[in-house]
Amino acid sequence: MTLHVIRLGDVAIATNPFEYYLDFGVYIKTRSPAVQTFLVRLTGTGSYVPSARSIAGGGYGSLPASTPIGPDGGRLVAETTIETLLAMWDDGATADGSAHPADSDWLQQAGRPKR
């Protein structure tokens, strides 16, 4: 699988060959250290990548017959994209110097772990 991530100042552009469901896109964007992150999808011969939530809801692209990659593979692609983005901002802060939102105490108070 080919994945590209480009940094242009405070902006990141990440590509993957799949049609991501919203859950994965939001997951990547909320963990990106960039001020703005653009996700460019379907840059290859990929197909739908359903989330666990879409499978549970019976979404049309989440049927096993319509996609060779499931939620676990989608999560792996998302995690790889996030790791690549974080490596471009290896100081752990956002491009404007503030702490990354995923490191905020209120996330822990809401039951979400720090990254």
Query: For the ranges 38-47, 55-64, 65-74, 102-111, which has the lowest average pLDDT?
Result: 102-111
CA distance 13 to 44: 16
Task: Tell me what pLDDT residue 103 has.
Answer: 47
pTM over 0.75: no
Structure tokens at 49: 């990548």
**Are 44 and 77 within 8 A, CB to CB?**
no
| 81/63: higher pLDDT | 81
User: What is the C-alpha end-to-end distance of the chain, expressed in Å?
Assistant: 25
Give the H or E element holding residue 15. strand 11-15
Residue 100 scores a pLDDT above 60: no
